[in-house]
Structure 1
Amino acid sequence: MITDPARLLVYESDGLTAYRTAPRAVVLPATTEEVVAVMKLLHAEGIPVVPRGAGTGLSGGALASPGAVILGTSRMNRILSLDPENRLARLQPGVVNTRLSDAARPHGLYYAPDPSSQTTCTIGGNVAENSGGPHCLKYGVTSRYVVGLTVVLADGEVVVLGGAGADPY
């Protein structure tokens, strides 16, 4: 957990640096189980939580509300599986866009949403912002490529939405 004011400075804004709010703290879980534990504890204490990917968004989505803790996903950066035949990947939210494309490239595939921050932004942030990029008119935005999510709710409950067999259309 990060509570040192100097280390919290980097978490005061996202890519839109005109707006800044200092979080109470930052937690950096590495697993879903750690996210569950953090969410249960903070929910029980009535402390608001703001999820954060790489902080490259321009909408203020990763800004802390007053007294909030930021839950950063940077340590949740594993590609869990890659299934080129079915064009599916299971990822943790901290996987950087270009890392997914690099992993898929040997199979003639890539991750189509390509925001200008694709070398830094993460899949979790893309899902939160429904990111696109210069090719979104042709290929669509992030929601077109998500067939399932495992979500940890504010009280720590884990919910699975969709899945590999889900019809994305």
Structure 2
Amino acid sequence: ACRAHGVSFVARGAGTGLSGGAVACHGGIVIECARMNRVLRVDPENRIAVVQPGVVNADLSKAVAKYGLFYAPDPSSQQSCTLGGNVAENSGGPHTLKYGTTTNHVLALELVLADGELVRLGNPAGLANGLDLVGVVVDRERHAIVMGDVRGLLAV
């Protein structure tokens, strides 16, 4: 609908970022993703979680703690920031000195582009072949995309 009417949009997680990534351009709209907040699947053996973009960073770590796992990127806003926002901003924090930033923990993404097309990037198993399109998307502020599912790698 946005494209048909020439309206730009930006997806918003929790809005905790300081770079203005959740601010729409003049005349644009903000698409709120906070209600897409489910941890869809956890595979503790392979240290993989599939989540929706509105999952709060600290909530993912709580959900996988029973397996001795946690989500390593831990920005100071981890109690309220979302994984979708983490992906959009390539969030980090103290743990990233050892484990890396968000881009090091995202294996695959499901995106809805500005024209409504659903695109799946990356490899669910984390096996790279060819150009790392997930890495191209992570940390690209103001994308005209809305995230569906995020498949991420958990730390021990």
TM-score by length of 2: 0.80
1:14 maps to what in 2? none
Tell me, what secondary structure is at the counterpart of 2:109?
strand
Aligned to 2:121: 161
Note if 1:105 corresponds to 2:65. Answer: yes
Consecutive unaligned residues in structure 2, runs of 5 or more: 133-156
Partners of 2:83 and 2:125 lie apart in 1 by: 20
1:47-86 maps to which residues of 2 (within 5 A)? 47-86=7-46
Which of structures 1 and 2 has the larger relative contact order (alpha carbons within 8 angstroms, sep 6+)? 2
Partner letter of residue 54 of structure 1? A
For 1:102 and 1:135, locate their aligned partners in 2 and report how far apart those are by CA, in whole Å: 16
Distance 1:117 1:81 in 2: 24
Secondary structure of the corresponding residue to residue 126 of structure 2: coil
What SS is found at the alignment partner of 1:43?
A: coil
Q: More strand per residue: 1 or 2?
A: 2
Q: In the TM superposition, what are the counterparts of 1:1-169 in structure 2 within 5 Å? A: 41-167=1-127
Q: TM-score, normalised on structure 1?
A: 0.74
Where is the helix percentage greater, Structure 1 or Structure 2? 1
- Structure 1: unaligned runs, 5 residues or longer: 1-40
The percent identity for this pair of structures is 59
Superposed CA RMSD in Å reads 1.2
Please list every run of at least 4 consecutive aligned residues from structure 1 whose deviation after the TM superposition is greater than 6 angstroms: none
